Chain A
C-alpha cells in the first residue's frame, strides 16, 4: 500500500491551485452575483490543458492518470464549484465515455477536439420529469435509414448553452424493457432542431452554466450513436461512475475550502478577549471538518486508484460521492457558523460554499439513491454486471505516446 502522491501529481496540483488562486478567486464573487459564467473560464481551462488532463496524448489530451483528474477537481472546487462542474460534464460524463465506449473514428472526430479544448462537451440524461428514474425518460430517437431522429427535452444540463457536443440518451425502443430500450448519441449542438438555454435563479452554482437542451426532429447520423442500440442505460450508468468521481473529488475541495476559511477566521476573530479558535465548540467544528476532509479524500483517491487499475468501482465511487457531498454541505454550513454574521454575507466565501454544496447532494445520484445503492451492495441485492466496454486501466506508456 502506498499513500504517496507522485511528483507529477503534486506539480499538477500546485499548477491548478495557482491558476485558481490567481485568476479565479479574485473575481468569482462578482460573477456569482451576476449569475453568469465568467467568459474566460472555459477558454483558459482549454488553453492550460485542463480539459484534456487524463485523456491519452494520442487523442489530444495530457496523458495523466485518473488520480490526477481527481486532484484537479479538488483544486478547482476549492475555488468555485462551477469550475469543477466543467470537468464533471466535459470530462467525466462525456469525454471519458468516448474513451470507454467510442469507436476509433468517434475518438478521432469527437474526443480529440474535446481533449484539446477546441470543443466543449456536456451530458444530456436528466429530463424535466426524469431524474433519479433514468429509465422513465421520454426523449426518443427514431431510426430512419442511416439516421436517427431525436425529440424531447433535457433539463438541468451543465454547459448546455456553452457546449459544442452533447452525449444524449434517448429511447430507441418504446416496447423494450425500460433499461434495454435506451441508446446514447453524440449530438453536435449546432444541428437543426436544437434549442439550448440557461436556467437562472438557482440556489448555487451561480457562476456556472446550467440549462436545457430541447430537440425537435433533430437528425443525427448512425455513426454518432455511441455503443450499440439498446446500450444507452449501461453507458449512462458508466458515465455516472466517472462523473460521480469528479463530484466526490470536488466536494472534497469544498470541504477543504470551508476548513481553511474557518481556521483563518478562527485565528483572526476575537471574542471575550481571545481568538475564537480557543473555544472548544469552535474547535469541535474544525475537528469535524478535518475528519470530513481526510475521509472524503481517502474515499475518492481509492476510487481513482481503482480506475487506474481498471477495476470496476461503481460501489466505491458511489460511496465517495455520497459521503463527500453530504460532508461538504455540513462543512460549509458549519463554516458559516464559525464566521457568525459575517458568514451570512457574501463578503466572505463561505455562504457561496454552502449554496454550491447543495447541488452536489442532488445531482449525479441524490444522497438517497446512493444510500439505496450502498445498502443494496451490503445486502447482496445489487451486483455490477460486466460491461461490453470497461473504462481502460491507466497505462502510462500508452497514455503518453504520441501515436
Chain B
C-alpha cells in the first residue's frame, strides 16, 4: 500500500472529481467563451475594425488572470463547508492525491482549455471584424519579440496565491483572497517606497516593488536599476514564491480540520 501516492487511487479520485464537477466546468467554459466574444467583439464593433496583436495580448492576459484566479479559488470548495469537507477528507486517498487533482485541474487543465477557447473566440472576432483597411493576424503566443507567453509565468504566481486562499478560507475564497493580496501589495508598495526614499533621500516618483527606483532632482529624471544579470535574480524570487505558495497550500490541506 502506497500511502503517499498511488496512480490507481489518483486515477479514481480524478474520475470522481470529474464526474462531480464536469457539468459546472463545462458551463463555466461556455460563460468564459461568451464573455470573450461579447467583450472583444463589442470593442471591435465600437472601433469599426479588428484588434491589433497588442490589444489581443492584453485581453489574453486579462481573461487568463481573471478567470484563472476565480477558477482556482473554487478548486478546493469541497474542503470548504463542513459537511463537504468531512466527505472529502475521509475519502481513502492521500492528501497529495487530493491536492494534485485540484492543482492539475486549476493549472494544467485550465491552461489547456483556456488557450484554445481564447483562440477560438479571438478567431471568430477577427473573422467578423477584419477588413482590408483593418486587417490583423491572431496574436502568436510564442512570438519571440513580444513574448506574450511570459503572461503564463504571471499566471503561475497568481495561481499559487489563489490556491492558498482556496484552502485557507472556507467561504467567499475569491473575494477574501483578493482582499488579502491587494492589502499585502499595498503595504509592500508603501514600505518599499519609504525604504527607497530613505536610501536615496530624494523625491521619488511612484516606484513599485521588484523594479528599479525612479526619482527626480531639479529638472532631471533618473532611474536606478540593478545590473541586468542581477535583475534576472528577481525572476527567481517569483519562482521561489510560486513553489512556496504551492507547498503552503499542500501543507494547509494536510493540516485541515473540521
A binds B: no
Residues of A bordering B, CB below 8 Å = none
Residues of B bordering A, CB below 8 Å = none
